[in-house]
Chain A
Amino acid sequence: DTGVSQNPRHKITKRGQNVTFRCDPISEHNRLYWYRQTLGQGPEFLTYFQNEAQLEKSRLLSDRFSAERPKGSFSTLEIQRTEQGDSAMYLCASSVQGVEEQYFGPGTRLTVT
């Protein structure tokens, strides 16, 4: 059991650039979640997949954000035209349908300069 993995662990980018993060869930977990955590706050839900279908998106997920989960395996989160307010830790979690616990990855820390 390798756990949830995320890449890269750290990303520094200039304002206006596009960035993409990857999340590999625990194998056989059909649900995958993205959260954003800013300093001093708890994680906030962004979006959720069941298999390859994106079933819910938070209003926090502006048009500059897009997430995919092709083939129901790994997922990518892309942020276009990054802004300084996008600086945060982006967390991925996975779970099995019918099991309430979500297992988190180590996160990708994004810094927009």
Chain B
Amino acid sequence: AQTVTQSQPEMSVQEAETVTLSCTYDTSESDYYLFWYKQPPSRQMILVIRQEAYKQQNATENRFSVNFQKAAKSFSLKISDSQLGDAAMYFCAYRSATEWKSGSEKLVFGKGTKLTVNP
């Protein structure tokens, strides 16, 4: 079974600075997707960024970028120019890309990292 580990329960960053959130995962599959989701306090979870395992290029979305190291099974999220609105729980998630395999559709989440942005 796949597992996702987020080793930083809490992180803090100064407004306008850069922060990196860590995520490692364990899988025997070669084809899969990785996601970062953001869950603001008392608000719903939204997708921040996704990465396909077969793509070598790291995904970027505006101020958000990932460092995907497939061999090391590492998938970190970098937030540049941090804003107060970035404060939230961040979850790393894994999804198999093997459509025919039972259980491939579910997301497997880490425990999350609480990000605080200081003004």
Contacts and interface: CB of A to CB of B under 8 A. Distances in A.
Contacts of A3: 44
Given A44-B109, A48-B106, A100-B50, A107 B44 contact: yes
Given A31-B105, A56-B102, A105-B44, A43 B50 contact: no
B21 to A, nearest CB: 13
A35 B106 CA distance: 9
Interface residues on B, range: 20 to 34
Nearest to B45: A104
Contacts of A91: 45
Interface string B61-98: 00000000000000000000000000000010101010
Given A40-B111, A100-B50, A33 B95 contact: no
Contact of B106 (A33, A40, A103, A107): A33
Given A100-B50, A101-B35, A101-B47, A42 B106 contact: no
B115 to A, nearest CB: 15
A41 B43 CA distance: 16
Interface of A: 3-4, 31, 33, 35, 40-45, 48, 55-56, 58, 91, 93, 100-107
Given A100-B95, A101-B47, 7 more contacts: A3-B44, A31-B105, A33-B106, A44-B109, A100-B50, A100-B97, A103-B47
Closest 8 CB pairs of A and B: A42-B109, A45-B106, A104-B45, A106-B44, A100-B33, A42-B91, A43-B109, A42-B111
